[in-house]
Structure 1
Amino acid sequence: MDLLLDSADLSAIAHALDHYPLKGVTTNPTMLTAIENGDVLSHLQRIREMIGEERELHVQVMGKDEATMIKEAHHVVSLLGEHTCIAVPVTECGLKVIKQLTSEGIDVTGTTVFSTLQGILAMLSGARYIAVFYDRMLNLDIDAKRVIKELSGFLWTNTSSTQVLAASFRNISELTSAYANGAGACTVRPELLSTGLAMPSITQAVDDFSRDWESVFGERTLLEL
């Protein structure tokens, strides 16, 4: 079970690296449009420097045809290193790109997955990850939990190295449901992680323990007893 950060914000990434057990960082075209001066590749290189060579960095290609997407993938991997996952939309064109890139040993994230069929086709084409868009599926009245459960079951049955990577969460309940239904990895916006640890009940429990301790030992810690 893995956790990734869904962000291209450098300060958010730095904070998350200090506090959370991250396997990597995912980006998407929409968040990259906010980069100052549009210098996307330099920005991605800065993210790579921050997260190190061993963590994954997911980047989506933007070409409209197979040849362009493959060239983009080669260029991005040459700049960002071997632990870069190339995100490719799971369409007819995308499936051909996925097969080609995986045959070259490049890790691919089959993205914009909204159905079990898409996930199966991405798996059979060799994708390393199947990026299931949880909240967007719910908005279309698609049972996201069922799709994740079905895909994770197929992956287990076929002993595939592919993982379901659940994305696009609105709240903590969706995140935990994705894990509970078999997602091998989830990518989460920074603010959602912070919200999950900001419950008043957590703060109250910490404060209660501190008050009880200080009533007997004052401000001394275990180092001073």
Structure 2
Amino acid sequence: MKFFIDTANLAQIKEAAALGILDGVTTNPSLMAKEGIKGEEAIHQHYRTICDLVDGDISAEVLSTDYEGIIEEGKALAAIHPNIVVKVPMIKDGIKAIKWFTDNGIKTNCTLIFSAGQAILAAKAGATYVSPFLGRIDDSGWNGVQLIEQIAQIFNVQGFKTQILAASIRNPNHIIDCAAAGADVCTCPLEPILGLLKHPLTDLGLAKFIEDAKKMQAEAAVA
């Protein structure tokens, strides 16, 4: 399973990349605004900077919701760097645009997926990725991981090449569950990724190793 980081914060992207396990980045207008990035020129430059930091797919989201607007924005975003993936909302004109992008060699990420039916439409249109939103699905009383499993089964049976990009990840267990459910990619903030490092038995074991090492050094010094 690939690991993407869901942020526009360059420091967090660098920290995730330094771990050696980062495969890509996802962003959205809200994340850009959070970093104070405003205006088309500034946003495009920020994407260029991210592409210089990470050698992998970088999802850049369109703002338009009409077919012509999505196409024009998507073409401009795709021209920034070969690693840009145009992020398109799961709407009727979005599906039409994904088909156009697919036919013209532009990678896409269909976002705001909340059902298997939506995932099927995006895959039929040729989306590179579909992004089911686990956390938001769980918040609504449904089971996000079960949706991942269902989509994975359908894609396997039907032979769809579209990758499942699990989004709206809230904690380390979400990442583990998505890996087991068949997600091709998970995208989340840095905190859940770092949370995978932690286990109380690891802390206890390390403390014991350090204690034993100090005793050995002390005994060696006396001898």
TM-score (norm 1): 0.90
Quick check: 41-50 or 119-128, which moved more? Answer: 41-50
Alpha carbons 2:3, 2:21 under 8 Å: kept = yes
Residues 151 and 37 of structure 1, relative CA distance in 2, 3 Å threshold: closer
The within-5 A match list for 1:94-105 is 94-105=94-105
Alpha carbons 2:51, 2:83 under 8 Å: kept = no
Alpha carbons 1:35, 1:43 under 8 Å: kept = no
The within-5 A match list for 1:171-182 is 171-182=171-182
| Distance in 2, Cα, partners of 1:143 & 1:159 | 24
The within-5 A match list for 1:26-65 is 26-36=26-36, 38=38, 39-51=42-54, 54-65=55-66
Q: CA deviation at 1:217?
A: 4.9
Which residue matches 1:13? 13
Which residue matches 2:130? 130
Residue 148, structure 1, aligned to residue 148, structure 2: yes
Alpha carbons 1:5, 1:188 under 8 Å: kept = yes
1:120-162 CA distances to partner (integer Å, 9 max, x unpaired)? 1111110111101000001112221221111111111223221
Q: Which amino acid aligns with 1:121?
A: L
Q: Percent identity?
A: 27
| Distance in 2, Cα, partners of 1:67 & 1:208 | 63
| Distance in 2, Cα, partners of 1:149 & 1:208 | 40
Instruction: Give the ranges of 4+ consecutive aligned residues of structure 1 lying more than 4 Å apart after TM superposition.
Output: none
Q: Which runs of 5+ in 2 are unaligned?
A: none
1:70-89 CA distances to partner (integer Å, 9 max, x unpaired)? 1111111111x222111111
Q: Which amino acid aligns with 1:116?
A: A
Q: Which amino acid aligns with 1:105?
A: G
Q: Which runs of 5+ in 1 are unaligned?
A: 221-225
Which residue matches 2:118? 118
Which residue matches 2:72? 71
Q: Which amino acid aligns with 1:127?
A: A
Q: CA deviation at 1:48?
A: 1.2
Q: CA deviation at 1:37?
A: 5.3
Q: Which amino acid aligns with 1:65?
A: D
| Distance in 2, Cα, partners of 1:42 & 1:83 | 14
1:26-72 CA distances to partner (integer Å, 9 max, x unpaired)? 11121111233512222121111111xx4110111111211111111
Q: Secondary structure of the residue that 2:73 maps to in structure 1? A: helix
Aligned-residue CA RMSD (Å): 1.7
